[in-house]
Structure 1
Amino acid sequence: MKKLFLIVFVLLSFKNYAQRPQRPPGQGREPITISGTVLDQETGQPLEYATLVLQSIQDPTKVSGGITDIEGKFSVETPPGRYNASIEYIGYKTYKINQTTFNESVNLGTLSLYIAASELEGVEVVGEKTTVEVRLDKRIYNIGKDITTSGATISDALNNVPSVNVDVEGAISLRGNENVRILINGKPSALAGFGSTDALQQLPADAIEKVEVITSPSARYDAEGTAGILNIVLKKEKTLGFNGSINSYVGHPTSAGVTGNVNLRTDKFNIFNTTGYRYRDSPGNAFFDNTYTSGSFDRVIEDREYNRLGKSFNTNLGFEYFLNEQSSVTASIFYRNSQDEDETENTNERYTSGSLSSNTFREELEDEDDESYQVSLNYVNNFDDNGHKLTADFQYSNSDEIKNTNIEERETIPSTNLLALEEVFENEIENEYLFQADYVLPLGDSQFEAGYRGTLEESITDYRLDTLNQSTGQMVINEALTNKFTYDENVHALYTQYGNKFGDFSFLIGLRLESTQLKGQIESDYDTSQLEEDLGEEVELNFDKKYLGLFPTVNLIYELDEEGMQSISLGYNRRINRPRGFFINPFPSRSSRTNIFQGNPDLNPAFSNTFDLGYLKRWDKLTLTSSIYYQRETDSFERVQQETGQTTTDGIDIIRTLPINLSTENRYGAEAGVLYNPAKWLRLNSSFNIFKFDKQGIYDGIDYSANNTSWFARFSSKVTLPKKIEWQTNAFYRGPSENSQTESEGLFRIDLAFSKDILKDNGTISLNVNDLLNSFKRQSYTETEFFTSRSEFQWRQRSVRLSFIYRFNQPKERNGRGRGNGNDGGDDDEMEG
């Protein structure tokens, strides 16, 4: 199959060379060049893969042309003559130049295409509509127009994006699958965190230009992430002059913040900066009712109260210098410092034979200081106006997180004995180097791309646990849990892809080759023989694994009508899920004395094959996007809970959570989204996603096979009231779900926001209420052979936020519009309802 794919790829390339416009025999004049640039009329965005069609009037059977590159530019060689010319793009009105004589090379300048249905809507409200942009390999959502995200975080904003779900703990999933790759401006980044979503809960949503939902990634993207990719594109103004905005907010529970976005652009350089500070108190709570089949207690009820105080500062400063008309260099630096103070109070009731035996009180104080920075360099060289282009990138990211935790647990009934006093020290240092080069070569009416990306990641985790020896009154090191673990993940990738359009049919095919090295090394004074016994003697605690894989991608679109109002698409891709360091580290860490998490060095990457069939239909005031998909993943990850055979000093069984490769998972799903604008004052947006997974696997003699059907839906309405007041309502519901051991009930939340323009429309004041009904709580039931647990968890309670944004030299209708980002790979076409 792989050889066949390569043969077809090469033949297509040769076929394309053969189809390049040739000078008719006997014609003595040299070919001329017709060039120009194609943009979206409303946004000014370049339209990549728009098609120039040239039809000879003398011989209508002779048709030639070309496609635009990522900057919307085209350049086509053709014999001099008289032609009917047109510019075509899916979902846009065709731009026609009829019966025109081209006797010499000409640049047609900038050609703007209108969305096919846009003339039926008032242009004065276009900047306020919820929009979705459609590409061959992705969909783009301009969430900057969502007033419920004013003063919110990136994590909050993602929860309003169709196909995306952010759970009560901040974990992000795509179509119900948590193995999603998070990119910033098309690259892995310290801004998004190293394999964690914590950073997204600290960065302001105001910095986002748009979010690209990539469920069928092309070969230019990493193969990591079996669910797909979320690419967060940050703002960078392309308008000449000095402009920007300042957004500030206050809220309850106590929260406050300010973010500034400024930009200075001249003909020679561009300086851009986003700086923000936030202070946030996030109270939460949890309840657990656990029953045990062994141990000193048959039932333990836990009541937890969380008080998380977070303070963070972040800034992103960039400078773009235009070396000449063809090339530029961009340098940027990002810095973030966050300080968190978390307090958890845990009250326990312990029962024996149905009667209350004792009460305990546990207090956990955690201080976390996280400092991250990232430096980036980007070089772009446009060899000519034909789209012949080379880009090169270098990026270095560093994160240093220090966490100190003090834990004290006392018995309150029937006595006041001290049960445990612990001090935990954790230091996690992460370094990442990224090298990337991308080459684009127009081939007449098609386009060829190739590139390289190298990502070198090192993660060092230093973990120490000190416990009180009550007989001596001294703190002593727990050698069994104290360790230092170094984990390296090195990935080198080569890719190539080819795109073309024949009439109503467009395609983009590619192939990516990735070499992966996963390397782990432990340093500890502890006798590792116990670890080998726990995990299995065949497991290598110090390991060096290498993998080599091919990852093909195919994306097809066929327009069902001439105006692009209806189309179908088909996508296929192969992906990989590499285990993170936390899943690999063989030393146990614990969230409590009774629950530990232990990584598995024997964990291998999981691989998936995904098929996606999409349908798009647009009417005058309504747009429907829909798709059905199927994914088969091998060696999929699953967390299982097991008995350790150990108990605490007061007789409670200690339970271990272990990640494993659980054989095979089949996932089926369907989704649909509707954008409806029945009137200038009313805009509606809704989406629905249903999916089913079927897991098959046995581990340690236990069958963990499971199947489950779940769904989630969201609805948003935006109403323009008198006096220019905007009212937006967002509702979200996730249906019940289950895996091999846990059943979770449905989740529901509703958010409200009101906004009004003031100060001659240069300012906007907004009032937001998140989780109006205070209902966003996870309720679960877990059952194993040795214990059961009923739980309720609320990560953050209802919050109210008042925000004010002021724009200078930046009219409101331009704020949040697509403006591109220079080197982010996100110059896309837009499609509105």
Structure 2
Amino acid sequence: MKLKYIFIGSLLSAALSAQTQKDSIQHVEQINILVKKKLLERKADRLIFNVEASVASQGMDATETLANVPMLKVDENMGAISITGKSTVSVMINGRMLNLSGNALLNYLKSIRSENISKIEVITTPPSKYEAQGNSGIINIILKKNPNLGFSGNINSSLIQRTYSGISSSGSLNYQTEKFSSSLKLAYYDSAKRTDENYTIIGASQNYSNSIRRDMWKELTPTLNLSYKISKNAEIGLEYIYANQKSGMNIVNTTKNIASDLKEENLLTNTFHREKLPTHTLSAYYDLKLDTLGKKLSIAANFYKNNSDTEVNFSTLKSSDNSVQDVKTTSLISPQIFSVQADLELPFSFGTIETGMKFNQFKNSSDIQYFNLTAGQYVPDLLRANIFRYQEENYAGYVSFAKTFGEHWETKAGIRYENTHAQSSTPSSNSENKYNYGQWFPSAYVSYKEDKNVFSLSYSRRINRPSMSNLNPFRWYENPYSYSSGNPLLTPAYINNLELGYTFNNKFSASVYYLRMKNAFGQISYIDGLSQTSTYLNYYNNNSWGFNVSYTDTFFKFWEASISANASLQNSTVFNVDAETQKGSSFSYSVNNTFSLNKSKTLALFVNFSHSLPYRNVNSYFYAYPELTSGLKLSLMEKKLQINATVMNIFAQRYRGDMYFTDNVQHMNNYWDGRSFRLSLNYTFGSSKKKISKKNINFEEKERAE
């Protein structure tokens, strides 16, 4: 009998324990629900968008999620992510720089699901801890921590229909224990699009160029992540990424040239372009907690290398004499990057000190050959061949101090010093360039919070160094007469950014900014007889004043809307070119709507519209660009299965602009197959046991290999 009571008592105890645990879980869920109401958070040095708080951002990939963030713009036509009113930004995952660009960046982000994203930080004035490289700011995507113990995984597949069909698939398999963490990810892309580009130069002579192009790319990318907790306070880990990329272009170009004496020449060029680009990225880290108060030492090393092997064949028919010129160019380009850094975080009762050092080394070797087809044989043209060598070393150190004053004030200030040694050489022309420079990059932030109001003031100085392709003087020919090239004499641009921000009730956000860019560079085109050429030059300084404003809220429990707008004024001066600058201005707005079509919110309709009005900048004028996107989202199996159908750029808008110079005017009118239909399915599986944390690795400088 006694045993019976003991048994019954044990059952009651277990039941009460289970109920208590259930109540605790429900309480945590209630707390999470309350937290989710905070869509936006303003910190001293960044604006935070909580993805989990946004119904519109559920069941999407990372590119679609970024498009829902105030101030951010994702342009799949241009392959760029930017802060509205400013220029392209860098993208990090948990503080680790992706250093990808164009379609490679967008494809990587498409493999990340919004369900795995906790929040997105928009850092318009990056603190001194981060690389000073970059002309605008940083987007930091924070993934959810503590992946489940045991096995878990994800499978995603998408079909995209433009002019041509394409597919993308990715899968990940994770295994976690209390000390060991591993993740294996495999992504595959096979897609194509049709491009229609038109470029006209009108001056004393005239040049009209039209290219109809089929862009194709395939990529198979396995990624391996491993980490191990050596002890309670120490952890090591590594990440290896191998990307086997193949791309190609089939181009039909027609060029009409009208000389100053009105003599007309027409060229018809067929181009066959193929590239193999295997890349290797290896990153490793060691983290050590120095005490229980949060003091921490982090050491990381990164290595990146690719070997681009490209062959281009083009055949040009010249109308004046019906002659045909067949040409082949080959290129072997091998950029290599190594970096090592150490960061020390020291929280004290009087504030938090962060300090660290970093060393980067860039190397690039390119061997590009030019061949004319003569009597059935390819004969080298040594005058058009090129060997280019580039090496850059960058030494950096930083220190910052952060302190909070009561419940209202948060401050942070820091300074970074970077010293750069660079040299480039072109053996074929016996030319060599060397330059050394050291620069200070200060940053400062202060924020004030009172009830539902948060004010912030931030400042930072940054540098925009030319990429390796910007520096390479080799001529990339479109036909035997027209080409583009880099410029080994390019020097960095410097940026000063001052911003005043405000948020109200975690829904409304506004900011006013001033941006000063000095010694900026860009691509400039010229016409010389039959030849249309372009190169990169440092040629302008730019002052920009602007504001961003956004409001996100839920109406009638089923409609989530986000409205944002940006306006700016620019004042520019130019040098090294003869151009007519004019006061610039811009205005753009967007309205994103998500409608839940059932009570369980598993079926939703979204309709997003954005509109950039005509704007001027430096010596350029860009036409209006409206864009409408709509689709359906369906969640099944307790949200483990997500199905999305999306139609993008429904109006099939073209990108048009003009550039004004003293002796000519240049026009562009391009369409990059923007209208598309995408159908995607994502399935998540795995254990739901206790969770542990996962480390992400920082490799900020790889993007300059592009």
TM over 0.5: yes
* Pairing 1:362–2:269 present: yes
Measured in 2, the distance between the counterparts of 1:406 and 1:130 equals: 56
Confirm whether residue 314 of structure 1 aligns to residue 221 of structure 2.
yes
- Confirm whether residue 305 of structure 1 aligns to residue 193 of structure 2: no
Structure 1 Cα separation of the partners of residues 191 and 585 of structure 2: 36
Matched letter for residue 504 of structure 2? K
Is 2:266 the counterpart of 1:266? no
With over 3 angstroms needed to count, the CA separation of the structure-2 counterparts of 1:164 and 1:609, relative to structure 1, is same
Question: Does the alignment pair 1:238 with 2:147?
Answer: yes
Residue 635 of structure 1: SS of its match in structure 2? strand
**Aligned residue number for residue 422 of structure 2:** 518
- Structure 2 distance, partners of 1:764, 1:199, is 24
Structure 1 pair 543/820, CA: closer, same or farther in 2 (3 Å)?
farther
Structure 2, unaligned runs of 5 or more: 1-24, 700-706
Alpha-carbon distance between aligned partners in 2 of 1:165 and 1:280, rounded to the nearest angstrom: 23
Matched residues in 2 for 1:486 and 1:113: separation? Answer: 60
- Equivalent residue number for residue 567 of structure 1: 454
* Equivalent pair of 2:59/2:642 in contact (CA under 8 Å): no
- State yes or no: 1:737 paired with 2:615: yes
Query: Residues of 1 paired with 2:326 and 2:63: CA distance?
Result: 35
Aligned residue type for 1:762: K
C-alpha contact (below 8 Å) 1:774/1:798 kept by paired residues:
yes
1:178 and 2:178 correspond = no
Match of 1:505 among 409, 430, 440: 409
Partners of 1:148 and 1:251 in 2: CA distance: 20
Q: Which of 684, 697, 704 is the equivalent residue of 1:807?
A: 684
Residue 45 of structure 2 is matched in structure 1 by 137
The one-letter amino acid paired with 1:495 is: Y
Q: How does 1:29-428 map to 2 (within 5 A)?
A: 119=34, 126=36, 131-141=39-49, 158-167=66-75, 168-178=77-87, 180-189=89-98, 192-193=99-100, 196-207=101-112, 209=117, 211-233=120-142, 237-253=146-162, 254-294=165-205, 298=206, 300-348=207-255, 360-411=267-318, 417-428=322-333
- Deviations 1:377-425 (Å, cap 9, x if unpaired)? 11111122210111111111112221111111224x687x243211121
- Is 1:202–1:312's contact at 8 Å kept on the other side of the alignment? no
Higher mean C-alpha displacement, 246-255 vs 137-146: 137-146
One-letter code aligned to 2:401? Y
1:442-461 to 2 correspondences below 5 Å: 442-461=347-366
Q: What's 1:102 paired with?
A: none
| Matched ranges for 1:547-696 at <5 A | 547-561=437-451, 565-618=452-505, 623-643=507-527, 645=528, 647=529, 652=530, 654-662=531-539, 664-696=541-573
Corresponding residue for 2:595? 719
Q: What is the TM-score of this pair, normalised by structure 2? A: 0.86
Structure 2: distance between partners of 1:508 and 1:114: 30
Change (3 A) 1:762 1:226: closer
d(CA) in 2 for partners of 1:250, 1:285:
23
Tell me whether 327-336 or 680-689 shows the greater mean CA deviation: 680-689
Call closer, same or farther: CA 1:163–1:147 in 2, change over 3 Å.
closer
Cα offsets for 1:234-258 (capped at 9, x unmatched) = 6765332322221112231311121
2: CA distance between counterparts of 1:567 and 1:729? 30
Question: Post-superposition shift, 1:473?
Answer: 5.2
Within the candidate set 671, 675, 684, 1:798 is matched to 675
- In structure 2, distance between residues paired with 1:642 and 1:820: 55
> In 2, Cα distance between the equivalents of 1:147 and 1:799?
20
Query: Are 1:306 and 1:345, in contact at CA under 8 Å, matched by a contact in 2?
Result: yes
| Matched residues, number | 662
Distance 1:396 1:150, change over 3 A: farther
Change (3 A) 1:741 1:684: same
- For the residues of structure 2 that align with 1:146 and 1:289, how far apart are their CA atoms? 45
CA drift of 1:721 comes to 0.3
Q: 1:549 to 1:352 in 2, by over 3 A?
A: closer
- In structure 2, distance between residues paired with 1:170 and 1:558: 37
Contact 1:323 1:329 in 2 (8 A): yes
SS of alignment partner, residue 128 of structure 2: coil
How much has 1:553 moved relative to structure 2? 0.8
- Secondary structure of the structure 2 residue equivalent to 1:769: strand
**Corresponding residue for residue 11 of structure 2:** none
In the alignment, residue 395 of structure 2 is paired with which amino acid?
Answer: H
Look up the match of 2:586.
710
1:439 to 317, 323, 344: 344
| Greater Rg over alpha carbons, structure | 1
Query: Residues of 2 paired with 1:750 and 1:337: CA distance?
Result: 34
Task: Provide, for residues 604-632 of structure 1, a one-character-per-residue CA deviation record: whole Å limited to 9, x for no partner.
Answer: 222222111001101xxx71111101122
Alignment partners' CA distance in 2, 1:151 and 1:427: 38
Q: Deviations over 1:609-664 (max 9, x none)?
A: 2111001101xxx7111110112222222433344x4x4xxxx2x23333333353
Identity in percent: 23
Q: Gaps spanning 5+ residues in structure 1: where?
A: 1-43, 45-109, 529-540, 827-833
> 1:463 aligned to 2:371?
no
What letter matches 2:394 in structure 1? V
Q: Could you tell me how far 1:794 is from its partner in structure 2? A: 1.2
Deviations 1:746-791 (A, max 9, x none): 212222221212234321221111212212x211233445544433
**How far apart are 1:501 and its partner, in Å?**
0.8
- Partner amino acid, structure 2, of 1:331: L
Contact 1:171 1:178 in 2 (8 A): no
Give the Cα separation in 1 of the matches to 2:557 and 2:481.
58
Q: CA deviation at 1:582?
A: 2.3
Question: CA 1:380–1:222 in 2, change beyond 3 Å: closer, same or farther?
Answer: same
